[in-house]
Amino acid sequence: MDSVNHPAATAAGQLETRRVRVTGLVQGVGFRYATLRHARLLEVHGWVRNCADGSVEAMIQGSRQQLDLMQRWMRHGPRTAQVQGLSASTIENRPIFTRFEQHPTA
């Protein structure tokens, strides 16, 4: 099994979780849907949602390699987005996510 695969990361105890916030023109441009598709492509689990302040927030979970790739993609997002900033923090004592989904605006 590939070491990038999420279940392998879980079994090996290498599972990481990060909260990511993306700012700029990231709402109304398909950012959440594109994030959902890219996360599923990378086999990253968690969720993504719009925030009332105009940013997009995501909780991403997987191996360090998966999360680094996901964050790299989120720094640019889909072609229609204009990302101005990205902040990320590691989350301890996190739940284990079993898929990636889109949540309602918070």
- Single out the catalytic residue among 18, 50, 72, 94: 50
- Single out the catalytic residue among 32, 72, 75, 99: 32
Residue 32 is among the residues annotated as catalytic for this protein: yes
Residue 93 is among the residues annotated as catalytic for this protein: no
* CA nearest to 15, candidates 72, 90, 71, 74: 90
* Distance, CA of 11 to CA of 38 (rounded, Å): 23
* Distance, CA of 29 to CA of 35 (rounded, Å): 11
* Distance, CA of 50 to CA of 28 (rounded, Å): 10
Tokens of 21: 């916030």
| Residue positions annotated with a catalytic role | 32, 50
